Structure 1
Amino acid sequence: MEKSVGLYDKNSSHLGFFFLFIYTIALFIRPQEWTYNPDPTPIARYFLIIAFIFFLASQRPKLWGYQSWFLLGIVFLMPISGLWNGWLGGGLFASIDFAIYGLLPFIMYASLVNSPAKRNWIFFLFTLTSIIMVHHGLSQRANPDGIGWTGISLIQDTRIRYVGLFNDPNDMSMFLLMNLPILFYLRSNSQSLIMRFIYLALVAGLLYGIYLANSRGALIGLIFMCLAYCYFQFGTVKATLASIISLPITFIAMSLFREISADEDSAYGRIDAWYEGIQMLKSSPLFGVGANQFIENHGRTAHNSYVLIFAELGLIGYTLWFMTIILTMIMLLKIINIDSSKYESELQDKTLRQNLALAKIYFYCLIGFMATAFFLSRSYIVFLYMFLGLAFGVYVQVRAKIPEVSASEEPKTILKILFMAPLSVFTMYIITIVLL
Structure 2
Amino acid sequence: MEKPVSLYDKNSSHIGFFFLFLYTIALFIRPQEWSYNPNPTPIARYLLMIAFVFFLASQRPKQWGYQSWFLLGVMCLIPISGLWNGWLGGGITAATDFFIYGLLPFFMYASLVNSPSKQNWIFFLFTLTCVIMLHHGLSQRAHPEGIGWSGVSLIQDTRIRYVGIFNDPNDMSMFFLMNLPILFYLRANSRSFIMRLFYLALVGGLLYGIFLANSRGALIGLIFMCLAYCFFQFGTVKAALVSLITLPITFIAMSLFREISTDEASAYGRIEAWYEGVQMFKSSPLFGVGMNQFIELHQRTAHNSYVLIFAELGIIGYTLWFTTIVLTAVMLLKVVNIDREKYKSQLQNEALRKNVMLAKCYFYSLVGFMATSFFLSRSYIVFLYIFLGLAYSVYVQVRDEIPEVRMSEDPKVISKIAFMAPVSMFIMYMIIIILL
Whether contact under 8 Å (1:16, 1:54) holds in the other structure is yes
Asked if structure 1 preserves the Cα contact closer than 8 Å seen for 2:11 and 2:59, the reply is yes
**1:133-179 alpha-carbon deviations (Å, 9 max, x no partner):** 01000000000010000000000000000000000000000000000
For residues 144 and 377 of structure 1, the distance between their equivalents in structure 2, rounded to whole angstroms, comes to 32
SS for the counterpart of 1:399 is helix
Q: Partners in 1 of 2:415 and 2:244 — Cα distance?
A: 35
Task: Report matched runs for 1:211-226 at 5 Å.
Answer: 211-226=211-226
Secondary structure of 1:272 counterpart: helix
Partner of 1:3: none
Residue number in structure 1 paired with 2:118: 118
What is the distance in 2 between the residues matched to 1:97 and 1:246?
43
CA distance in 1, matches of 2:257, 2:327: 33
Query: Is the CA contact (8 Å cut-off) linking 2:9 and 2:114 kept in structure 1?
Result: no
Residue 319 (structure 1) shift: 0.4
Per the alignment, residue 312 of structure 2 pairs with 312
8 A Cα contact 1:270 1:303, kept in partner: yes
Q: 1:380 to 1:265 in 2, by over 3 A?
A: farther
Alpha-carbon displacement from aligned partner over 1:105-154 (angstroms, at most 9, x marks no partner): 10110110012221111000000001100100000000001000000000
Unaligned segments of structure 1, at least 5 residues? 1-6
- Residue in 1 that maps onto 2:231: 231
- Give me the whole-angstrom Cα distance separating, in 2, the residues matched to 1:110 and 1:141: 38
Partner of 1:266: 266
**Percent sequence identity over aligned pairs:** 80
- The ranges of structure 1 where at least 4 consecutive aligned residues each deviate by more than 6 angstroms after the TM superposition are none
Q: Which residue of 1 aligns with 2:3?
A: none
Matched, 1:179 2:182: no
Measure how far apart 1:8 and its partner are: 8.0
- Residue 378 (structure 1) shift: 0.1
2:24 partner amino acid:
T
2:151 aligned partner: 151
Q: CA deviation at 1:76?
A: 0.5
Cα offset, 1:249, TM superposition: 1.1
Any residues of structure 2 matched to 1:24-423 within 5 Å, and which?
24-258=24-258, 266-423=266-423
Shift of 1:36: 0.7
Q: Which amino acid aligns with 1:65?
A: G
Tell me by how many angstroms 1:232 deviates: 1.6
Name the residue aligned to 1:4: none
CA contact under 8 A between 2:332 and 2:391: conserved in structure 1? yes
Deviation sequence 1:301-358 (CA, Å, 0-9, x none): 0000000000000000000000000000000111111110001111111100001111
In 2, the alpha carbon distance for the partners of 1:53 and 1:192 equals: 38
Secondary structure class of the residue paired with 2:63: strand
Superposition TM-score, scaled by structure 1 size: 0.96
Contact 1:264 1:270 in 2 (8 A): no
Q: CA deviation at 1:397?
A: 0.6
1:10/1:61 contact within 8 Å kept: no
Moved more, 251-260 or 353-362: 251-260
Call closer, same or farther: CA 1:406–1:191 in 2, change over 3 Å.
same
Compared with structure 1, are the counterparts of its residues 426 and 174 closer, same or farther at alpha carbon in structure 2 (3 Å cutoff)? same
Change (3 A) 1:255 1:10: same
> Unpaired runs of 5+ in structure 2?
1-6
Aligned counterparts of 2:213 and 2:300: Cα–Cα separation in 1: 21
Aligned residues: 428
Deviation at 1:418, TM superposition (A): 1.2
- Cα deviations by residue, 1:73-120 (Å, 9 ceiling, x for unpaired): 011000000000001111111100000000011011011001222111
Q: 2: CA distance between counterparts of 1:9 and 1:165?
A: 32
Q: Distance in 2 between matches of 1:114 and 1:9?
A: 7
Residue 134 of structure 1 contacts residue 209 of structure 1 at CA under 8 Å; is this kept in 2? yes
Q: 2: CA distance between counterparts of 1:301 and 1:274? A: 9
Cα-to-partner distance string for 1:51-85 (whole Å, 9 max, x where unaligned): 00000000011001000000000110000000000
Whether the 8 Å contact between 2:116 and 2:355 is mirrored in structure 1 is no
Secondary structure class of the residue paired with 1:375:
coil
Q: Distance in 2 between matches of 1:125 and 1:96?
A: 27
The structural deviation recorded for 1:259 is: 5.6
Q: Once superposed, what is the RMSD of the aligned Cα atoms?
A: 1.4
Quote the Cα distance in structure 2 between the aligned partners of 1:418 and 1:79: 22
CA contact (8 A) 1:9 1:61 kept: no
Q: Distance in 2 between matches of 1:217 and 1:253?
A: 13
d(CA) in 1 for partners of 2:152 and 2:327? 38
Change (3 A) 1:30 1:265: farther
Aligned-partner SS, 2:342:
helix
Q: Residues 353 and 322 from structure 1, CA distance in 2 versus in 1: closer, same or farther, beyond 3 angstroms?
A: same
